[in-house]
Amino acid sequence: MEAVTRSTQKLAIAHNSSAWPLPADLTIKVFSLLDTESLCFAAATCLHFGKCASDPLCYVNIDLTRSPDKVTYPVVSTMIQRAGNNLQSIKLGSLSKDENKVIKSPVTASCLYPLQLDGGASGLLLRKLHLYNLKMRRYNPCSALSACKSLSELEIVGIKFWLTRIWGTICEHCHLIERLCLDVAVARILRTFQVKDLLKGCPLLSSLTLRGFEIRDKLLSVLFKRAHGLKSLDLSYSFGFAGSFLRNLGNDDSANPLETLILRNCCHLSAAGVSLFLSAVCYGHCKSLRCMDISSKMGLLIFESSGPHTRCAIEVSQVLRERPGIYSFTEIVLLGVEMVCIGINNKEMQ
């Protein structure tokens, strides 16, 4: 029976190979354009497709975020070993389209271990690494990160543990990073020395996203003073800063390369700090700025000497008239009325 099965499989492979119109090299090229889940479906179709789908070129970009419940250590390990030195990007974990909803991923950080096998051969040329809500309590991802010395883009969402060690590993081993995104599930205080170490260890950093951190205005002033190549800054859902750093940013007469500034849902952001910055933008400062987001579900803070703090919306239409290249989101906040977030640009204004 085993001999009959083997013979049947050989006949099936020969038939599929002759019936399939494309040669093997073109089939591999087509498969390399598929997403990882579709590639797995194609590989399970027949032995001929399975052989073509095992080529290293099909695993240059591994994305296992569409079906995270099916991802296991052997699956990730096999794909990384198949990719070899061709591996360029990996996406692991679960990420919800709704930013207010957190999906717990069944994937653990141990799936990154194959990156450090064979002396870190697979991780050495890896350029992009995206990790979404991985389980890290018992598995430290720092050893795998230290093997990825060529990373240019790193995104870690839902950090609960090992933040200090992850930060130190990035500063010590990932010197080529250009885009960095760290999203913490539990609020953490960001220290000045950490920012200085990051800017020193990652001199090519041009895009920085820090979500959920407690950050002070003084620290942000240090960041802009030292990060000469920073073009994008996203501090969504972070807190602790009122916006006084924006005053220094707006009064800086030097050529500031900042193109994108996102301060979405920053609960301590004050209307006064934002107003001064917008005024500076109107007067021609921050000429590279193209995108700005100050939307907030609760509005911006107004500090009053007598009585509690209140919140308000801020008018940005003048900025859009003066600087038509800027795309900005503002939130209309009315007492007793449901808050609505609207997008405005110069073409839509009447």
Extract the tokens encoding 326. 């800027």
* Phi, psi of 330, deg, nearest 5: -130, 155
pLDDT at residue 103, as a whole number = 66
pLDDT at residue 322, as a whole number = 74
Per-residue confidence in pLDDT tens, the chain, 350 aa:
888 787 877 777 676 666 778 888 999 999 999 999 999 999 988 888 888 999 999 999 999 998 888 888 899 989 998 998 889 999 999 877 666 566 677 888 888 998 888 777 788 889 999 999 998 888 889 989 999 999 999 999 999 899 999 999 999 999 999 999 999 988 999 999 999 999 999 999 999 999 999 999 999 999 988 888 999 999 999 999 998 888 878 776 667 889 999 999 898 888 888 888 888 887 778 888 888 888 887 777 777 665 556 666 666 666 767 777 777 665 543 333 333 333 444 343 33
Beta-carbon contacts of residue 75 (< 8 Å; ≥ 6 apart): 64
pLDDT at residue 151, as a whole number = 95
On whether the CB atoms of residues 90 and 82 are closer than 8 A, the answer is no
pLDDT at residue 293, as a whole number = 87
Residue 320 CB coordination number (10 Å): 21
DSSP string, 85-152: GG--EEEEE---SSTT-----S-BGGGGGGGGGGGTHHHHT--EEEEES-B-SS--THHHHHH-TT-S
pLDDT at residue 127, as a whole number = 95
For residues 190 and 105, give the distance between their C-alpha atoms in angstroms, rounded to a whole number: 26
For residues 247 and 117, give the distance between their C-alpha atoms in angstroms, rounded to a whole number: 49
Looking up tokens 């679960």 gives 94
Give the CA distances from residue 349 to residues 271, 279, 327, 334, 343, in Å, rounded to whole numbers and listed in that order: 23, 19, 12, 21, 10
The model's pTM is 0.85
Extract the tokens encoding 75. 């699956």
- Domain residue spans of the chain: 1-59, 61-205, 229-350
Pick the CATH number of 61-205 from 3.40.50.300, 3.40.50.2300, 3.80.10.10, 3.90.190.20: 3.80.10.10
